């Protein structure tokens, strides 16, 4: 009986460790899905940093790719946000610029975060943005309008069958979130004054 | 260990402790099993009441009785209470009672942790149900609590909901550890794994599923907690997270969870069918392998709950094929139950009626599940009442009927009294008719396009809903009859024999009825 008590303890310990491991596994799923989505381009995630070798930056003139732009604001986001062009025809390997505009029509400073998504998913890892307003939080004072460039390169290795790439942006209001408050503080510290006259003591207090 | 128990015997001839402390401090698997069963029955009635609120509102088009916000709390809590408060604790209670008896063990491996596992539950569910009385209202985001509805847009009480889930999850994990430790280490000499009764096998496998996936649920609700209170963005797109991640993590837990709720039922049905057909279970080995296959497959099918979420084609195909594959081992089990009855000497007492109804009605639920597995077709069925019909067939006329059957089957062993067979049959027929009238029309309203989780609906769904409500009330009220039957048995029932049923086999039927407080102090020899 004594050794079965020891065996029992061993069983219990292994099972408890298994349980703890599965709890860790749940949290590990977060980076795991991120990695899988980046590697496969699933979910339209456009991947991390891009460093172009000079050879990759020669436009492939034999091939045309249609890039279309779609913009949305999240339901709770009152800004005006759009693309200045509906799309453009590009060559893989060429550097292109697309322009977007945003306006804060409210009477308080606000902060936005724009999240991109690419369709089809298998094109996502071949679409490289070298400059994008979606990399940072955007602070706009009341009434402020801004034009935002987005520089991108479609990789020369884009799979053969992809003829159209759609880039969809969704803009969220993050004024009340930690990252938004921080961005607003920074912006105000660099002496961007509120534009609206009646603003007075509303937004300038730093959110 | 045996020396300690022998000495203990003299002190214990006064029987179990008296008063409330007996129940608060008990480490006895029979006491704890009884507490789990009574707790689950109370939760079943509470969850059932919520179902009747839902069905009353849905009896006719229009909003008659409750506001939509409250209706959402009813659908959410009906699901949470039935899944986590009624079905799961009932199966754990049956395991506590029967597993030690079936393997010839004196008790569970960790009796004090067993006590803790039970007593966590009343606290967890008091916390959950108390949220219904809070100012912000209770959880209203469905029992699947997808983010961000359950994070950004949740009522303030969501934090209590999260803690209730943590507690119930801890209870299940500890219970599962206990069951595996007991089964692997405390079987009577001679009882090899392939000689164990099917209920023990199904619970062994279920316990592994519990340890694997309940922590994942804990992870999901912890991530929710962080998103709500600590500024993280696991499920918030604006911070770089993804609501679809929640669905993946939840259903990675959620699919094995529903197999956790059915595998013990399979074990129960195997026992009842072989007893009342007076024939050994057909194909014991294949039953074990089929159960293990179902458990393994349950880990790789979760996204069939998410076919409409925007998965790439390869994902849809994989999950469709894997899901359809589960029908194979399940079919093996159904064929084996039927083969057990073939040329058997059958009688139709109440437990057998529930087991037979299980086989027939669970199979119907399985067929609607197969329909749902077909990804392109699921685009039509997803989030309609067709899904509601499917899971109520497998959970109510499946899992719940097996629990009813088990209670009728083993009650004489637990209490020493026979229940009234006439009343038992009446309870069966009322339940059978109620369940089918309630849930069969839901296949049709779902196919006709009625969405889930709505307090009001378009006129064309009215007749189906009216039928469902009538069936639900018949079914619900007949559970009060069940309560009466249980109480009446212990007050005025006929005394039960040791064997109880003519065809019964197994160690549990060798101890007297009622089973003594301590059994198998000496392990029996198994040939």
What residue of B is the nearest CA neighbor of A19? B211
Radius of gyration of chain B from its Cα atoms, rounded to whole angstroms:
23
pLDDT at B13: 55
| CATH assignment, A54-196 | 2.60.370.10
Instruction: Indicate whether A49 pLDDT > 70.
Output: no
> In this prediction, what percent of chain A has a pLDDT beyond 90?
57
Cβ of residue B177 closer than 8 Å to a chain A Cβ: yes
Return the bridge partners of A89, or none. Answer: A66
Cβ of residue B223 closer than 8 Å to a chain A Cβ: yes
Q: In a mutagenesis test of the A interface, which of B238, B253, B311 is the best target, namely the one with the most A β-carbons within 10 Å?
A: B238
| Structure confidence by residue, pLDDT tens digits, B211-270 | 999 999 999 999 999 999 999 999 999 888 999 999 999 999 999 999 999 999 999 999
Cβ of residue B176 closer than 8 Å to a chain A Cβ: yes
- The tokens describing B124, both together, are 């967890």
For A23, which of B2, B215, B310 is closest by C-beta distance? Answer: B215
Chain A and chain B share a number of CB contacts under 8 A equal to: 98
pLDDT at A35: 85
Q: In a mutagenesis test of the B interface, which of A30, A137, A172 is the best target, namely the one with the most B β-carbons within 10 Å?
A: A30
What is the domain partition of chain A in residue ranges? 2-40, 54-196
Cβ of residue B5 closer than 8 Å to a chain A Cβ: no
What residue of A is the nearest CA neighbor of B208? A15
Q: How many CB atoms lie within 10 A of CB B324?
A: 15
Cβ of residue B242 closer than 8 Å to a chain A Cβ: yes
CA distances from B433 to B340, B361, B501, B515 (A): 26, 12, 27, 34
* B296 close to B335: Cβ distance less than 8 angstroms: no
Cβ of residue B213 closer than 8 Å to a chain A Cβ: yes
What residue of B is the nearest CA neighbor of A7? B185
Cβ of residue B312 closer than 8 Å to a chain A Cβ: yes
pLDDT at A76: 86
Where do we find the tokens 């913009």?
A71
Instruction: Indicate whether A70 pLDDT > 90.
Output: yes
φ, ψ of residue A73 in degrees (nearest 5): -110, 140
CA of A35, closest CA in chain B: separation in Å? 13
pLDDT at A193: 56
For B219, which of A27, A43, A113 is closest by C-beta distance? Answer: A27
CA of A65, closest CA in chain B: separation in Å? 22
Tell me if B173 and A33 make a contact (CB, 8 A cut-off): no
Taking alpha carbons only, the member of B501, B497, B362 closest to residue B439 is: B362
pLDDT at B527: 80
* Contacting residues of A for B227, CB less than 8 Å apart: none
- The number of C-alpha atoms within 13 Å of B174 and in the hemisphere containing its C-beta is 18
Which residues numbered 25-54 in A keep a CB inside 8 Å of some CB on B? 25-27, 29-30, 33, 42-43
Tell me if B211 and A15 make a contact (CB, 8 A cut-off): yes
Q: In a mutagenesis test of the B interface, which of A26, A119, A174 is the best target, namely the one with the most B β-carbons within 10 Å?
A: A26
Cβ of residue A75 closer than 8 Å to a chain B Cβ: no
Instruction: Indicate whether A41 pLDDT > 70.
Output: no
Taking alpha carbons only, the member of B143, B388, B364 closest to residue B251 is: B143
Q: How many CB atoms lie within 10 A of CB B350?
A: 25
Q: ipTM more than 0.95?
A: no
Cα distance between residue B207 and residue B19, in whole Å:
32
* Contacting residues of A for B237, CB less than 8 Å apart: 115, 170, 172
Instruction: Indicate whether A177 pLDDT > 90.
Output: no
Burial B270-307 (b: 16+ CB within 10 A, else e): bbbbbbbbebebbbbeebbebbbbbbebbeebbbbbbb
CA of A27, closest CA in chain B: separation in Å? 6
Tell me if A26 and B218 make a contact (CB, 8 A cut-off): yes
CATH assignment of B30-509, given 3.30.479.10, 3.30.230.10, 1.20.210.10, 3.50.50.60?
A: 1.20.210.10
Active site residue ranges of B: 78, 107, 143, 171-172, 255, 257, 259, 270, 304-305, 330, 333, 452
Cβ of residue A74 closer than 8 Å to a chain B Cβ: yes
Average the pLDDT over each of A124-138, B194-208, B217-231, B462-476 and give the range with the smallest value: A124-138
What residue of A is the nearest CA neighbor of B5? A1
Q: In a mutagenesis test of the A interface, which of B185, B191, B216, B231 is the best target, namely the one with the most A β-carbons within 10 Å?
A: B185
* Contacting residues of B for A29, CB less than 8 Å apart: 219, 245, 248-249, 252
SS3 B410: helix
Instruction: Indicate whether A157 pLDDT > 50.
Output: yes
pLDDT at B5: 42
Cβ of residue A6 closer than 8 Å to a chain B Cβ: no
> In this prediction, what percent of chain B has a pLDDT beyond 70?
97
pLDDT at B6: 43
| Structure confidence by residue, pLDDT tens digits, B148-194 | 999 999 999 999 999 999 999 999 999 999 999 999 999 999 999 99
How does DSSP classify residue B395?
I
Instruction: Indicate whether B3 pLDDT > 50.
Output: no
* Contacting residues of A for B186, CB less than 8 Å apart: 4, 8
The mean pLDDT of B126-133, rounded to a whole number, is 97
State the pTM of this model. Answer: 0.91
Cβ of residue A8 closer than 8 Å to a chain B Cβ: yes
Cα distance between residue A192 and residue A185, in whole Å:
10
Burial A40-76 (b: 16+ CB within 10 A, else e): ebbbbbbbeeeeeeeeeeebbeebebebebebbbbee
| Structure confidence by residue, pLDDT tens digits, B287-310 | 999 999 999 999 999 999 999 998
Cβ of residue A71 closer than 8 Å to a chain B Cβ: no
3-class secondary structure for chain A? CHHHHHHHHHHHHHHHHHHHHHHHHHHHHHHHHHHHHHHHCHHHCCCCCCCCCHHHHCCCCCCCEEEEEEEEECCCCCCEEEECCCEEEECCCCEEEEEEEEECCCCCCEEEEEEEEEECHHHHHHEEEEECHHHCCEEECCCCEEEEEEEEEECCCCCCCCCEEEEEEEEEECCCCHHHHHHHHHHHHCCCCCCCHHHCCCCCCCC
φ, ψ of residue B451 in degrees (nearest 5): -75, 165
Taking alpha carbons only, the member of B223, B80, B228 closest to residue B151 is: B228
What is the domain partition of chain B in residue ranges? 30-509
pLDDT at A47: 62
| Structure confidence by residue, pLDDT tens digits, B387-443 | 999 999 999 999 999 999 999 999 999 999 999 999 999 999 999 999 999 999 999
Q: How many CB atoms lie within 10 A of CB A143?
A: 15
| Structure confidence by residue, pLDDT tens digits, B364-394 | 999 999 999 999 999 999 999 999 999 999 9
Cβ of residue A179 closer than 8 Å to a chain B Cβ: yes
| Structure confidence by residue, pLDDT tens digits, B269-287 | 999 999 999 999 999 999 9
């Amino acid at each position: 009986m004594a050794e079965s008590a020891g065996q029992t303890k061993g069983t219990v310990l292994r099972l408890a460790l298994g349980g703890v491991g599965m709890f860790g596994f749940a949290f590990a799923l977060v980076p795991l899905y991120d990695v899988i989505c980046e590697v496969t381009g699933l979910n339209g995630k456009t991947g991390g940093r891009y460093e172009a070798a000079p050879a990759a930056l020669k436009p492939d003139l034999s091939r045309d790719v249609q890039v279309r732009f779609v913009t949305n604001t999240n339901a709770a986001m009152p800004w005006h946000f759009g693309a200045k062009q509906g799309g453009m025809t590009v060559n893989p390997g060429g550097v292109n610029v697309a322009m977007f505009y945003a306006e804060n029509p409210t009477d308080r400073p606000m902060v936005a975060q724009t999240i991109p998504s690419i369709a089809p998913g298998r094109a996502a890892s071949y679409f490289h943005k070298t400059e994008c307003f979606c990399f940072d939080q955007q602070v706009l004072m009341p009434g402020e309008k801004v034009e935002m460039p987005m520089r991108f390169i479609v990789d020369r290795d884009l799979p053969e069958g992809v003829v159209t790439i759609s880039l969809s942006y969704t803009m969220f209001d993050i004024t009340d979130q930690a990252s938004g408050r921080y961005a607003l503080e920074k912006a105000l510290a660099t002496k961007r004054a509120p534009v609206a006259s009646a603003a007075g003591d509303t937004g300038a207090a730093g959110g | 260990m045996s020396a300690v128990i022998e000495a203990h015997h003299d002190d214990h001839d006064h029987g179990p402790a008296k008063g409330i402390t007996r129940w608060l401090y008990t480490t006895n698997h029979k006491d704890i099993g009884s507490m789990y069963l009574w707790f689950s029955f109370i939760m079943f009635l509470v969850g059932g009441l919520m179902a009747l609120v839902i069905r009353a509102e849905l009896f006719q088009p229009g909003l008659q009785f409750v506001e939509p916000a409250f209706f959402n709390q009813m659908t959410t809590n009906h699901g949470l209470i039935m899944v986590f408060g009624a079905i799961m604790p009932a199966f754990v209670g049956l395991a506590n009672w029967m597993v030690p008896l079936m393997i010839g063990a004196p008790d569970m491996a960790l009796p004090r942790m067993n006590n803790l596992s039970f007593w966590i539950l009343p606290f967890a569910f008091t916390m959950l149900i108390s949220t219904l009385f809070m100012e912000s209202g209770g959880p209203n985001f469905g029992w699947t609590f997808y983010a961000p509805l359950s994070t950004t847009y949740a009522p303030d009480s969501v934090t209590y909901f999260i803690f209730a889930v943590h507690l119930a999850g801890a209870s299940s994990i500890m219970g599962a550890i206990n069951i595996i430790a007991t089964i692997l280490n405390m079987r009577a000499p001679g009882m090899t794994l392939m000689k164990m009764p099917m209920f023990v096998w199904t619970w062994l496998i279920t316990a592994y599923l519990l340890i694997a996936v309940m922590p994942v649920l804990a992870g999901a609700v912890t991530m929710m907690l962080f998103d709500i209170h600590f500024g993280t963005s696991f499920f918030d797109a604006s911070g770089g997270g993804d609501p679809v991640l929640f669905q993946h993590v939840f259903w990675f837990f959620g699919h094995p969870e529903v197999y956790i709720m059915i595998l013990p039922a399979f074990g129960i049905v195997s026992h009842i069918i072989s007893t009342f057909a007076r024939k050994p279970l057909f194909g014991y080995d294949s039953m074990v392998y089929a159960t293990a296959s179902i458990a393994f497959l349950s880990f790789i099918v979760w996204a069939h709950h998410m076919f409409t979420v925007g998965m790439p084609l390869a994902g849809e195909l994989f999950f469709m094929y894997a899901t359809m594959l589960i029908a194979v081992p399940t079919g093996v089990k159904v064929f084996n139950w039927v083969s057990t009855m073939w040329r058997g000497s059958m009688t139709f007492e109440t437990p057998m009626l529930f087991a037979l109804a299980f086989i027939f009605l669970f199979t119907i639920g399985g067929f609607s599940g197969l329909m749902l597995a077909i990804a392109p077709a699921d685009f039509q069925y997803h989030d309609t009442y067709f899904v509601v019909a499917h899971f109520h067939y497998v959970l109510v006329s499946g899992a719940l009927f097996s629990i009813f059957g088990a209670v009728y089957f083993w009650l004489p062993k637990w209490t020493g009294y026979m229940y009234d067979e006439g009343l038992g049959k009446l309870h069966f027929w009322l339940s059978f008719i109620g369940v089918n009238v309630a849930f069969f029309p839901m296949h049709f309203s779902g196919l006709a396009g009625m969405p889930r989780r709505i307090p009001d609906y378009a006129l064309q769904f009215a007749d189906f809903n009216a039928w469902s409500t009538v069936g639900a009330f018949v079914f619900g009220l007949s559970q009060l009859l069940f309560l009466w039957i249980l109480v009446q048995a212990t007050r005025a029932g006929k005394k039960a024999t040791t064997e109880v049923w003519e065809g019964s086999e197994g160690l549990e039927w060798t101890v007297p009825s009622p089973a003594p407080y301590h059994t198998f102090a000496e392990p029996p020899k198994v040939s």
